[in-house]
Amino acid sequence: MSAPEDFTKRKLWGGRFTGTTDPIMHAYNESLSYDKRMWAQDIRGSQAYARALVGCGILTEQERDEIVAGLEAVGKEWASGSFRAEPDDEDIHTANERRLKELIGAVAGKLHTGRSRNDQVATDMRLWLIDEAHTLETLLTELIAVMVKRARAEVGALMPGYTHLQRAQPIRWSHLLLSHASYLSADLARLRALHPRISVLPLGSGPLAGNPFSPDRVALARDLGFQSVGPNSMYNVSDRDFVAETLMWASLTAVHLSKIAEDFIIYSTAEFGFLTLSDAYSTGSSIMPQKKNPDSLELLRGKSGRIFGQMAGFMMTLKGIPSTYNKDLQEDKEPLFDAVDTIGRSLQIATGVISTMTINEEKMRAALTPDMLATDLAEYLVRKGIPFRETHHISGSAVRLSEEKGVPLSKLSLEELKSLSPAFEQDAERVWIFEESVERRDAIGGTSKRAVLEQCDTLEKALSS
């Protein structure tokens, strides 16, 4: 009589199959090489499910305790780096269950009762992403906090504000910095809003039709820290919208980091010289020793394309999948893992760059020119009671006159200004004071000192909410 077959040497799905799997197919099909990073979440989910099976009458309390302790031992092996994968370990679920059987014996076979890898993997991914989202939130708040701190400390620095990359109006350097922080604050709000849609329990759905042993899914959700219970078993096992949304969030956040990078790359050139990056975030040239390249910023800009590519690729994977679980959904992990890793590192690099760079306030101020105050000249006349459309035309005529005479706009005499409008008086000379220009823009969101510091307060409140 032949020896009984050891199920630890079988694939979980292998009962009806008599032939062996093509080795290339096995390599094509396996996911352990990357989903092993969810080992802790897989163990947490399995321990909670073991506790739930007691209420179903599937496990005794003693069996539950054996399984929970066995899984704890498996987790310690992963944590220490001593876990040894076997060739037939297709994924993290197979690997953990196989090792559990080796440690505690046949009772391990009861753990999979009523559970499918379909609801198991969906649970693991959500648990993993909840943990990662908390980390990303911390990294994002740290970046915003650094930007706000700099804005407060350097609120006195003035610089040109640009539209179309042309000098437009004087602003505070802090105002520019806070404009980027405002984008990131919106990203923070979107990340926080994602959490309830990630924190939905799929476990207890079986492969698609539900669990026939009726585990208490509300208690399972509470045990694992989920905010809600998935409402429909078919939806629960196949839903990956939370992955798509996370990839969309990461893509948009990366675009905002790319915008910061582009501004700072331009401002760090010799032609601008507004800021200098720390050596820690710069590299040199292999042939030109005078070069100091902003590679950190260029990589931030480049990584945004990588993250967007992961999102676009996954959306194409999702679009043609029929109902419930299909193997296409295995393609959810690598894009998600890569995007989360990349955006996390990008946030850390951006924080490092911004916290260590220095600004050249003198060069920023030197780049301010009187023509940038042409709008202020028009606004001066508005305060004299002249409609803006008329004052805009008068200011334009002043610009033309300064160009014809070859002198800065601020060097036009009072008589020359009066030739354009009799409303000009001696106090028009104050139009050319850059500090007064920025201070006049004192409405909420403006670039006056009070308005900028108010923006700092608003952003800091958003961080703590």
Instruction: Give dist(CA 147, CA 76) in Å, integer.
Output: 40
Instruction: Give dist(CA 62, CA 146) in Å, integer.
Output: 52
Could you identify the residue written with the tokens 């201070």?
A: 439
Give burial (CB, 10 Å; 0-12/13-18/19+) of 443. Answer: exposed
Rounded to 5 degrees, what angle do the CA atoms 355, 361, 364 make? Answer: 110
- Cβ-proximal residues to 101 (8 Å cutoff; 6+ apart), any chain: 7, 8, 108, 109
Catalytic (active site) residue 112: no
Query: What secondary structure does DSSP assign to 164-194, as a single string?
Result: TTEEEEEEEHHHHHHHHHHHHHHHHHHHHHH
Catalytic residue among 164, 286, 464, 465: 164
Q: DSSP character for 3?
A: P
Residue 159, classed as helix, strand or coil, is strand
Give the CA dihedral 253, 259, 260, 261, nearest 10 degrees. 110
Write out the two tokens for 107: 């009772």
Catalytic residue among 214, 228, 278, 285: 285
Catalytic (active site) residue 402: no
User: Other CB atoms closer than 10 Å to residue 243's CB: what's the count?
Assistant: 24
- Beta-bridged to residue 358, according to DSSP, are 276
| CA proximity to 314, closest of 401, 231, 245, 383 | 245
102-116 burial, b at 16+ Cβ within 10 Å, e below that, comes to: eebeebbebbbbbbb
Could you identify the residue written with the tokens 């820690």?
A: 280
Name the pairing type of β-strands 358-359 and 228-229.
unpaired
Angle, helices 117-153/241-267, rounded to nearest 10 degrees = 30
| CA proximity to 189, closest of 146, 253, 260 | 253
The catalytic residue positions are 164, 285
